[in-house]
Amino acid sequence: MSQYNLEFTFDGEKVNAITGQSIGAALLADNQRTLRKTRFNQSERGVFCGIGICFDCLVVVDGITNQRACLIEVKAGMNIQTQQGSNA
Amino acid sequence: MHNVVIVGGGPAGLSAAIAAAAAGAPVLLIDSNPRLGGQYWRLPTENFGDQHNQHFDLDTGLMLINAVNARKEIEILNGAQIWSATHKDGINTLRVIQNGVEKIINTKNLILCTGAYDRALPFPGWDIPGVMTPGGVQSLLKGHAVLAGKRVVVAGSGPFLLPVATGVVKAGGEVVELLEANKSSRWLLSPFVMLENVSKLKEAFYYIKVISQAKVRARFGQAVIAAHKGSDGNLASVDIATVKRSLKIKKIRNVKCNVAAIGWGFTADTSLAGALGCKQRVAKDGGVVVAADENQQSSISGVFVAGEITGIGGAELSMAEGVIAGLSAAKFVGCKVEILKSHRKRRAKKQRFADALIKSYPVKSGWLTWLSDQTLICRCEEVTVANLEYAIDELGATDSRTAKLLTRCGMGLCQGRVCGRSVVDLVASKLKISATDIDRFSAVNRPIISPIPLGLLAKGE
């Protein structure tokens, strides 16, 4: 397998990734399992279905909320944040 | 000549595209993934190297993908999400978003190959990060070369658990438990099916070989019935129960893991067909699928359906159906082409295998006994069993549709894709009635096929 070739941030911390990986995949590879907290119970959620069906892996991507981490390809310099509730 | 428009680039869609194009019809193939192959032949970008390691039969997939890419008659629209579909006066209108721009496609001739996704059953703790569907674990391996975690429990029911466990082992993970809720002896109920589907037998032996080399022992009649989080909020362990055939619990043990991949077969993604108004039916496993005639035509003239949306049956059945759908659509637009007896025979053989699958891996209602009052049913709207009970006992809901409206269960971003089927079963069991087909249809039909930002529409592109 090829080596890490790009860098992005998750809640301000640097994370390495490989071109072509989704945000969710890159974060799981970095052992970041909690991607958001729910709006009512503030409970932790992460990647569940992995294919864009369940909307559980929502993160904030460069300031835009409700983005599915499992579908969006990670890009160098992206600023990803844990989504708190609906972040609205 | 009008285009044949195909939705879905998996085994069915690829087969349909090639068959229609070979018959002389121009094809527009719309796929939501950036790369063709569907979930079955999910491929990463080129820089990940050879992917055969994570597939049993990648060569067939690569052959189909290359053939589709090579045909001039096939135009491909990938990374394209269809958010709305309507049918009026014989014309199907699809609203597609690709790279943030909306395209409107009008066509008389459609082939829907929208596939399926894992069926997840609710249980206490199923929302904890680390609990995943087997398809999710596999998509990370196939599409991104990422192992979801080091210690993986693979559980649920169905033959799909085998390739997922194999994939984890091949990627260097530890499968700490491989649990099939049903007994393997149930295959004896369909004695001839395995003999006529030797390729399936070979595939199963391949997985069993890899798994046993890694010293993983499959256990039958066991299921994950609860998950527990650690201090970091992520999955720390699961409760595994020995279950009866009904899925009722006999005894429980606890196992430490950081991923639990749990699936109970598949649910067909009928949203698009439902929005167009294609007639649906309830399959033997309780899932809603799209009705198709012997030419793969739906109840709407000119709208053909193939693959998992007509009934769960795997990639080989999907390909057999895809070829017939492709030929039928080509014929519909005026190409001189016939569906051969051999095409129908191949489909019938694969269909017998699919029927045997449903017989061998039933999901009995005993899972309802695993739930506690505080178990989440709707992950999106955080609706619990207790909330649904309140809607039934105190607010007078007498069917799942009313219970849904009163609790917002199934009305979140996934629009009931994950919980819809379970809510129907749960509400029916609380009311001590049988769920009707109408209950099941209403749980899977949704006006918006894929949620999109309102701003995109406001731009009016």
Does A21 sit within 8 Å of B145, measured CB to CB? yes
Nearest CA in chain A to B418: A54
The DSSP symbol for B72 reads T
Query: Smallest CA–CA separation between A77 and chain B, in Å?
Result: 19
For B348, what's the count of Cα atoms within 13 Å in the CB-facing half-sphere? 7
Phi, psi angle pair for B450, to nearest 5°: -140, 125
Q: Quick one: pLDDT at residue B460?
A: 53
Query: Smallest CA–CA separation between B248 and chain A, in Å?
Result: 25
Which residues in chain B are contacts of A22 at CB distance < 8 A? Answer: 143-144
| H helix count then E strand count, chain B | 14, 22
Pick from B87, B95, B107, B113: nearest CA to B17: B113
Q: Quick one: chain A helix, strand, coil %, rounded to 5? A: 10, 35, 55
Pick from B288, B306, B268, B302: nearest CA to B11: B306
Nearest CA in chain B to A46: B129
pLDDT tens by residue, A75-88: 999 999 999 998 65
Which residues in chain A are contacts of B271 at CB distance < 8 A? Answer: none
Of B138, B147, B418, which is closest to A54 when you measure between CB atoms? B418
**DSSP result, A21-58:** -BHHHHHHHTT----EE-TTT--EE--SSSSSSS--SE
pLDDT in tens, chain B (461 residues): 468 999 999 999 999 999 999 999 999 999 999 999 999 999 988 778 888 889 999 999 999 999 999 999 999 999 999 999 999 999 999 999 998 899 999 999 999 999 999 999 999 999 999 999 999 999 999 999 999 999 999 999 999 999 999 999 999 999 999 999 999 888 888 888 888 888 888 999 999 999 999 999 999 999 999 999 999 999 999 999 999 999 999 999 999 999 999 999 999 999 999 999 999 999 999 999 999 999 999 999 999 999 999 999 999 999 999 999 999 999 999 999 999 999 999 999 999 999 999 999 999 999 999 999 999 999 999 999 999 999 999 999 999 999 999 999 999 999 999 999 999 999 999 999 999 999 999 999 988 888 777 777 676 54
**Ordered strands of the B218-220 beta sheet:** B131-132, B259-264, B151-157, B174-180, B218-220
Using the Cβ of A56 and the Cβ atoms of chain B, whether some distance falls under 8 Å is answered with yes
Element (H, E) at B403: helix B400-407
Using the Cβ of A6 and the Cβ atoms of chain B, whether some distance falls under 8 Å is answered with no
Whole-number Å distance between alpha carbons of A77 and B376: 36
* Amino acid, single-letter form, for residue B80: A
State the burial class of residue B69 (Cβ atoms within 10 Å of its Cβ: 0-12, 13-18, 19+). Answer: exposed
The DSSP symbol for B160 reads T
Pick from B269, B266, B267: nearest CA to B113: B269
Does B145 sit within 8 Å of A18, measured CB to CB? yes
- Helical packing angle, B198-213 and B161-170, nearest 10°: 40
**DSSP result, B210-264:** HHHHTT--EEESEEEEEEEE-TTSSEEEEEEEEE-TT--EEEEEEEE-SEEEEEE
Q: Quick one: pLDDT at residue A2?
A: 56
Using the Cβ of A9 and the Cβ atoms of chain B, whether some distance falls under 8 Å is answered with no
Element (H, E) at B144: helix B134-144
Residue A48 has pLDDT above 90, yes or no: yes
3-state secondary structure of B330: helix
Does A22 sit within 8 Å of B234, measured CB to CB? no
Does A53 sit within 8 Å of B144, measured CB to CB? no
Q: Quick one: pLDDT at residue A87?
A: 67
Of A25, A29, A55, which is closest to B414 when you measure between CB atoms? A55
Which residues in chain B are contacts of A25 at CB distance < 8 A? Answer: 140, 143-144, 146
Q: Which of A4, A47, A65 to mutate to test the interface with B (most CBs of B within 10 A)?
A: A47
Q: Contact B222/B238 with Cβ under 8 angstroms?
A: no
Of B39, B48, B129, which is closest to A46 when you measure between CB atoms? B129
Structure token pair of residue B303:
């709208």
Nearest CA in chain A to B144: A21
Q: Contact B112/B309 with Cβ under 8 angstroms?
A: yes
Does B118 sit within 8 Å of A28, measured CB to CB? no
Q: Quick one: pLDDT at residue A88?
A: 52
Nearest CA in chain A to B374: A41
pTM: 0.96
Which residues in chain A are contacts of B444 at CB distance < 8 A? Answer: none
